[in-house]
Amino acid sequence: MQIKELELKAVDIRLRALRLIYEAGTGHLGGTMSAADILVALYYYKMRVDPQNPLLPDRDRFILSKGHSVESLYCILADRGFFPLEELDSYSQFGSRLFGHPTVKVPGIEICSGALGHGLPAAVGMALGARKSGLSSKVYVVMGDGEQAEGSNWEAAMAAANYGTDNLIAILDRNMLQITGCTEDVIALGDVAEKYRAFGWSVKEIDGNNMQQIVDALDAAPFEVGKPSLILAHTIKGKDICFAENLAKWHHGIPNKDQYEAAVAFLENKKQEMLSHA
């Protein structure tokens, strides 16, 4: 897909994910919207995955380590054909496999995630496994910035550099918020680019809601031979949900009817503007 198509797709995915959360009355609006552009670039542009054969040995692997942001991912997996689109209606319903956090019951999901701090360690193992098996697979993992407070990330970061896993590309959704407030007020993350560099990673900073920048960074990875790559993606939590941007209370806030309709109108309008400029 070209950049304009990817941008349009991101609007559609936001509309679908918003509807999922509104209708189910549960979900994580803020983080699913901040990461939506990154997930669209991965699934419609970059990753080698086959919805008809989700366990293809040489597929690229994706882990949503900040598993609470799963709604955009479900919408993408359904749209790509990993499972039927109609199944999205069952999100968070009793008996559905579309839980509020990803599980391996869902085709296309590689690991259960949501307990923060597990995605990067698992990704390091997958990257090493792929290399040892002679596969050209890349492993992509999306982490949260609040999630960086989990010490397991730093053990994994050290191991990844130690083993030179340059088939590992981590993307850090740096939206500056976690569940209770600003990351810098809860557990300060500070200069996270320098921290990862000090751990032996190669780092690029981008606007993580800018499709061109996301695509360019994904194309440039690995940034250095023999080093794991970190894309430090500066994003807006609640991106494009007019009343929810940059507000911690929308981490898992549920829109009321008026808010839902206003958000849908904003996104539909954005789509029309994009189409009229196409």
Ligand X SMILES: Cc1ncc(C[n+]2csc(CCOP(=O)(O)OP(=O)(O)O)c2C)c(N)n1
**Closest distance to ligand X from the beta carbon of 30 (Å):** 5
Residue nearer to ligand X on the CB measure, 19 or 237 = 237
Residue nearer to ligand X on the CB measure, 31 or 131 = 31
**Closest distance to Mg ion from the beta carbon of 177 (Å):** 5
Q: How many other β-carbons are positioned within 10 Å of the β-carbon of residue 165?
A: 26
Structure tokens at 135: 């596969």
Decide if 113 contacts 64 (C-beta within 8 A). yes
Q: Which helix (H) or strand (E) holds 75?
A: helix 70-80
Q: Which residue is nearest to ligand X (CB)?
A: 144
Residue nearer to ligand X on the CB measure, 208 or 228 = 208
Q: Which helix (H) or strand (E) holds 260?
A: helix 257-276
Answer for which of 14, 16, 66, 131 binds ligand X (CB under 6 A) is 66
**Closest distance to ligand X from the beta carbon of 248 (Å):** 9
* Residue window 22-41: x/- pattern of binding to ligand X, with contact defined by CB under 6 A: --------xx--x-------
147 binds ligand X (CB under 6 A): yes
Residue nearer to ligand X on the CB measure, 32 or 137 = 32
Answer for which of 115, 187, 265, 275 binds ligand X (CB under 6 A) is 115
* DSSP code for 86: G
Return the one option of Mg ion, ligand X, none that residue 60 interacts with (CB less than 5 to 8 A, by type).
Answer: none
Sole window of 39-47, 63-71, 81-89, 133-141 interacting with ligand X (rule: CB under 6 A): 63-71
Residues in contact with ligand X, total (CB under 6 A)? 21
Residue nearer to ligand X on the CB measure, 145 or 166 = 145
116 binds ligand X (CB under 6 A): yes
DSSP string, 87-150: GGGGTTSTT-S--SS--TTSTT--S---STT-HHHHHHHHHHHHHHTT----EEEEEESGGGGS
Task: Identify the CA nearest to 40 among candidates 225, 187, 276, 233.
Answer: 233
Compute φ and ψ for 213, nearest 5 degrees.
-65, -35
Answer for which of 117, 121, 208, 255 binds ligand X (CB under 6 A) is 117
d(CA 133, CA 256): 50
Answer for which of 137, 178, 213, 229 binds ligand X (CB under 6 A) is 178
Task: Identify the CA nearest to 134 among candidates 169, 167, 170.
Answer: 167
End-to-end CA distance of the chain: 14
Name the residues that contact ligand X, by CB under 6 A. 30-31, 34, 66, 68-69, 114-117, 144-147, 173, 175, 177-179, 237, 251
